[in-house]
């Protein structure tokens, strides 16, 4: 049975790269393949601020995505897969308000307070009104990505009901109460619980693999104040940036 058509293939490959490359980059740095990892960091710096205090780490290097952006693309990827195999269903456009509100509040307030605290010289002064944490960033990002996936996937990929999925559903119905899975929203909540577990495991890997830069606790849920200088980016990654190099540090292309 044909599982993927051509559109599905490129769509899922695109999502796969957006989730895996940011994790591969710090691993490559840790084993000394800097010439490759610095290009990955540079490419992703075009789309993400890459503050080290707002990023998950592995082997003392930060991901190429911040925690929120990583959550967005992981949620979008998982949602698309679950839609593809018929576990999750599409959502209506007005449902997007529910998925957007948490990230708009958490990320929006954080961004506003950060920008208001920057003086003309790029020094961050204050920024104490609201400082989020990586747990909230990941959860709001993944919830947003999950919602977006269930809205756009209906126009991109073809949902199928595979036999092995039907068998899994049948076994679940026999062993678990039907009310747990009987609505799309309940399955969405269960998916979010699964993403939270993934996040917890990633933080444990961070803690075990790193010696210098560790999470604040088991969920990295304690807010961390950003560097005093706004232009400091990728401090724990390749191609670190400051005011002299610029935010993107294109010297890494050489």
Question: For the chain, which residues make up each domain, given as ranges?
Answer: 6-253
Check whether 109 has a pLDDT greater than 70: yes
Residue pLDDT, tens place only, 14-46: 999 999 999 999 999 999 999 999 999 999 999
**Nearest residue to 220 via CA among 85, 98, 65, 53:** 53
What's this model's pTM, rounded to 2 decimal places? 0.90
Percent of the chain with pLDDT over 90: 61
> Any idea which of 92-101, 109-118, 185-194, 197-206 has the lowest mean pLDDT?
109-118
pLDDT of 127 above 60: no
C-alpha radius of gyration, the chain, whole number: 20
DSSP category for residue 194? H
Give burial (CB, 10 Å; 0-12/13-18/19+) of 98.
Answer: middle
Cβ-based neighbours of 232, under 8 Å, separated by 6 or more: 51, 240, 241, 242
User: Taking each helix axis from N to C terminus, what angle separates 67-84 and 6-30, rounded to the nearest 10 degrees?
Assistant: 150
Read off φ and ψ for residue 185, nearest 5 degrees. Answer: -65, -35
Q: Which of 26, 19, 24 is nearest to 239 (CA)?
A: 26
């Amino acid at each position: 049975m044909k599982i993927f058509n051509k559109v599905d293939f490129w769509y899922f490959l695109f999502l796969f790269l957006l989730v895996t490359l940011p994790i591969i980059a710090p691993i490559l740095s840790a084993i000394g393949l800097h010439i490759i990892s610095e290009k990955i960091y540079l490419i992703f710096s075009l789309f993400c601020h890459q503050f080290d205090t707002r990023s998950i780490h592995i082997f003392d290097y930060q991901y190429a995505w911040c925690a929120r952006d990583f959550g967005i693309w992981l949620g979008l990827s998982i949602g698309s897969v679950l839609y593809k195999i018929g576990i999750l269903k599409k959502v209506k456009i007005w449902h997007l308000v529910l998925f957007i509100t948490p990230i708009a509040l958490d990320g929006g307030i954080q961004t506003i307070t950060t920008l208001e605290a920057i003086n003309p010289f790029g020094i961050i002064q204050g920024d104490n009104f609201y400082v989020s944490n990586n747990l909230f960033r990941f959860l709001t990002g993944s919830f947003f990505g999950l919602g977006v996936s269930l809205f756009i996937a209906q126009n991109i990929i073809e949902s199928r009901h595979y036999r092995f999925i039907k068998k899994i559903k049948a076994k679940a119905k026999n062993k678990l109460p039907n009310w747990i899975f009987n609505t799309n929203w309940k399955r969405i909540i269960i998916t979010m619980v699964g993403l939270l577990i993934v996040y917890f495991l990633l933080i444990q890997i961070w803690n075990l693999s790193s010696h210098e830069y560790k999470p604040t606790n088991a969920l990295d849920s304690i807010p961390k104040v950003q560097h005093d200088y706004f232009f400091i980016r990728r401090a724990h990654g390749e191609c670190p940036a400051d005011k002299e190099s610029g935010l993107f540090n294109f010297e890494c292309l050489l």
